[in-house]
């Protein structure tokens, strides 16, 4: 591919945009992210947005129309999907790849990438099924963690504990927090290395307080609400083991891409079918193990790390002749 022949349609849904960037990065280093800002019409259902991208200012759409057509446009999520479909009418020779359910006519895209856990059951020859969410952990693994060791000089051998929290559909209940705390305390008795916690901005205050009061030095805690260097990506490279809560598919996908023994704690508050399906899929594939009240200690084991973006990039090049 020649320079800037890939456009990534990015928006305020950071998780969606990061997936599109990860795929573009696996295809080529020559891509451009088109950052889209929506007006209030972004709340309209997609059958209306597919008629015309009412949710984007006209001057921005015109700037895209007046640009040289790229060979490939990658969209992710329903709102950017509608922009892709509008541009498809203008750029006749451009290929269009959509990540996640476009909530529109799937057959209009050259390829649609849907994770196995997605509830969309439509069949179409242009659908590619994947496991989890795309990410760039395979690239991060090859980078040195100079800043990490400067800010956390004591973090040499540790168990990474990646904690999520509430989402739109479910709250992280207090009983789940108590249960997780008790399991982690039990694990510390059977492992001579400290826990290194990383909270999410979604982590509820009661859970933060519970962890901070029960896990003092030599355990390490990173709280994004307190600022400072974010060690998250470094933890996924440097840990001896990873423990992750199952409330975020992106978070679990990133941990599964690390190649490090992975244990997932599934809160009872996580009632979303797709989350449970995905965690079970990782367990069935031998990538992850479940963390529950029966877990007394963590075990070392090997698995093929989840690297879907790279594999799908190869398939896209073959199918679309890029």
- 315 CA to centre of own chain: 20
Nearest alpha carbon to residue 266 among 286, 281, 258, 128: 281
* DSSP result, 98-155: EES--SS-GGGSSEEEEETT-------TTEEEESS----HHHHTTS--HHHHHH-TT-
How high is the pLDDT of residue 2?
A: 43
Give me the residue label for tokens 């509608």: 82
- Rounded Cα distance between 245 and 250, Å, is 11
How high is the pLDDT of residue 119?
A: 64
Q: Which residues pair with 161 in a beta bridge?
A: 197, 243
Residues of the chain with CATH 3.40.50.2000: 140-290
CATH 3.40.50.2000 is held by the domain 140-290: yes
Phi and psi at 41, nearest 5°, equal: -75, -5
CB 148 within 8 A of CB 309: no
How high is the pLDDT of residue 4?
A: 61
How high is the pLDDT of residue 121?
A: 58
CB within 8 Å of 266: residues ≥ 6 apart: 245, 246, 275, 276, 279, 290, 292
- Rounded Cα distance between 42 and 81, Å, is 12
Q: What is the DSSP letter of 6?
A: E
- Interstrand relation of 6-10 and 72-76 (parallel, antiparallel or unpaired): parallel
Per-residue tens of pLDDT for the chain, all 322 residues: 444 689 999 998 888 999 999 999 999 878 999 999 998 887 777 777 787 888 998 889 999 999 999 999 999 999 999 999 999 999 999 999 999 999 878 889 999 999 887 766 567 789 999 999 999 887 777 777 889 999 999 899 999 999 998 877 778 888 999 999 999 999 999 999 999 999 999 999 999 999 999 999 999 999 999 999 999 999 999 999 999 999 999 999 999 999 999 999 987 665 567 888 999 999 999 999 999 999 999 999 999 999 899 999 999 999 887 6
Q: Which residues pair with 111 in a beta bridge?
A: 97
How high is the pLDDT of residue 269?
A: 60
Nearest alpha carbon to residue 80 among 3, 135, 18, 125: 18
State whether residue 274 is helix, strand or coil: helix
Domain 6-131+309-320: CATH architecture, name and number where available: 3-Layer(aba) Sandwich (3.40)
CA angle, residues 34, 35, 40, in degrees to nearest 5:
130
First to last CA, the chain: 7
How high is the pLDDT of residue 266?
A: 87
Give me the residue label for tokens 């990133």: 254
Q: What is the DSSP letter of 7?
A: E
């Amino acid at each position: 591919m020649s320079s800037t022949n890939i456009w990534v349609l990015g928006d305020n849904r950071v998780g969606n945009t990061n997936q599109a960037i990860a795929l573009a990065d696996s295809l080529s280093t020559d891509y451009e992210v088109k950052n889209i800002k929506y007006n209030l019409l972004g709340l309209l259902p997609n059958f209306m947005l597919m008629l015309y991208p009412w949710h984007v200012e006209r001057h921005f759409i015109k700037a895209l129309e007046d640009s040289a057509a790229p060979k490939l446009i990658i969209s992710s999520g329903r709102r950017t999907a509608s922009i892709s479909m509008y541009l498809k009418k203008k750029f006749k020779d451009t290929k269009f790849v959509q990540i996640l359910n476009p909530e529109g006519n799937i057959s209009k895209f050259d390829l649609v990438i849907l994770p196995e856990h997605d509830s969309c059951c439509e069949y179409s020859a242009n659908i590619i099924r994947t496991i989890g969410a795309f990410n760039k952990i395979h690239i991060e693994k090859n980078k040195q963690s100079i800043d990490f060791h400067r800010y956390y000089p004591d973090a040499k051998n540790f168990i990474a504990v990646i904690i999520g929290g509430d989402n739109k559909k479910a709250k992280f209940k207090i009983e789940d927090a108590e249960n997780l705390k008790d399991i982690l305390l039990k694990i510390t008795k059977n492992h001579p290395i400290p826990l290194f916690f990383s909270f999410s901005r979604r982590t509820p205050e009661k859970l933060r307080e519970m962890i901070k009061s029960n896990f003092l030095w030599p355990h390490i805690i990173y709280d994004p609400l307190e600022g400072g260097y974010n060690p998250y990506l470094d933890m996924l490279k440097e840990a001896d083991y990873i423990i992750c809560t199952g409330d975020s598919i992106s978070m679990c996908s990133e941990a599964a891409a690390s190649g490090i023994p992975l244990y997932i704690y599934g809160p009872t508050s996580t009632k979303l079918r797709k989350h449970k399906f995905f965690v079970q899929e990782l367990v069935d594939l031998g990538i992850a193990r479940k963390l529950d009240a029966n877990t007394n200690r963590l075990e070392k084991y090997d698995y093929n790390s989840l690297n879907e973006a790279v594999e799908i990039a190869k398939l896209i090049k073959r199918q679309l002749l890029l």
